[in-house]
Amino acid sequence: MYITLIFLGVIMATIIGWLLRQTLNSQPWVSEAADDAVSGTSMDTSTKAVALMTFLAVATSVFGLFISAYTIRMEGPDWRPLAEPTLLWANSAMLVLASIVYHWTRNAAVKGNMEQVKPGLTVAGALTILFLLGQIVAWRQLIAAGYYVGLNPANAFFYLLTAVHGLHMLGGLWVWAKSTINVWTGADSDSVRLSIELCTVYWHFLLLVWVVLFGMLLST
């Protein structure tokens, strides 16, 4: 349990460090142009970065509490580990690819290359949707095999952990959809770059959380 929580702490510390650098580097009190000073673009950048940092801190705490509860509950005499569907490996690969593509898209957005941003966002979103659909199929496989929620605490925790992670992914897809619509309707790179950068951090975070959860489920 402690190794898992330490790993989550390292993830959170890394992400907070990156976001703090972005926030401090934006220097909202220093204007590069009069228009930015009037519109508050730099301040908006800092606000969104801090908001994401706060949300990720809360999400890390939530997952940490679930992991703690999982490790404590598995010591009970009624705990019977379930056999994780092999489909979870393919789902994990989809999420890894989505994170990689999102990072590539982020780099393209920073360079102002919208011709790469458009397909990049589309592919990253499609891979994420495939991951979520794969998780639903894995649930159906377990139910078909008789692994119902109420029969065993291990079953309940599996559905709970994957559902909470999936809900976080759905929240990210909402922001992804807004960015993708803006890009395909002619938005310039500057107007969507921040959203893409923050989504990239979010996707990396959820990938690392899934690695922790998946590893914990496999080992128990």
Q: Is 166 exposed, middle or buried (0-12, 13-18, 19+ CB in 10 A)?
A: middle
In the prediction, which pLDDT does 29 show? Answer: 37
| 47-84 burial: b if 16+ Cβ within 10 Å, else e | ebbeebbeebeebbeebbebbeebeeebeeeeeeebeb
Each residue of 141-167: pLDDT tens digit?
Answer: 999 999 998 888 999 999 999 999 999
27 pLDDT band, cuts 50/70/90, is very low
In the prediction, which pLDDT does 191 show? Answer: 79
- Does residue 86 surpass a pLDDT of 80? yes
Which of 8-22, 66-80, 135-149: highest mean pLDDT?
Answer: 135-149
CATH number (domain holding residue 157): 1.20.120.80
Angle at 194 between CA 192 and CA 195, to 5 degrees: 65
Q: Which domain holds residue 133?
A: 2-219
Residues 6+ apart with CB under 8 A from 111: none
How far, in Å, CA of 157 to CA of 53, rounded? 27
> Within 10 A of 196 (CB to CB), how many other CB atoms are there?
25
Q: How many domains does the chain have?
A: 1
User: Which candidate, 165, 147, 159, 143, places its Cα nearest to that of 80?
Assistant: 147
Give mean pLDDT, residues 194-203: 91
How far, in Å, CA of 213 to CA of 217, rounded? 6
In the prediction, which pLDDT does 37 show? Answer: 43
Q: Is 167 exposed, middle or buried (0-12, 13-18, 19+ CB in 10 A)?
A: exposed
Give mean pLDDT, residues 50-68: 87
36 pLDDT band, cuts 50/70/90, is very low
Mean pLDDT of the chain: 83
In the prediction, which pLDDT does 21 show? Answer: 57
> Where is average pLDDT lowest: 71-85, 122-136, 152-166, 199-213?
71-85
Each residue of 176-187: pLDDT tens digit?
Answer: 999 999 999 888
Tokens 């508050």 found at: 40
Residues 6+ apart with CB under 8 A from 138: 85, 87, 88, 91, 162
In the prediction, which pLDDT does 118 show? Answer: 92
Model pTM? Answer: 0.83
Tokens 């998780």 found at: 135
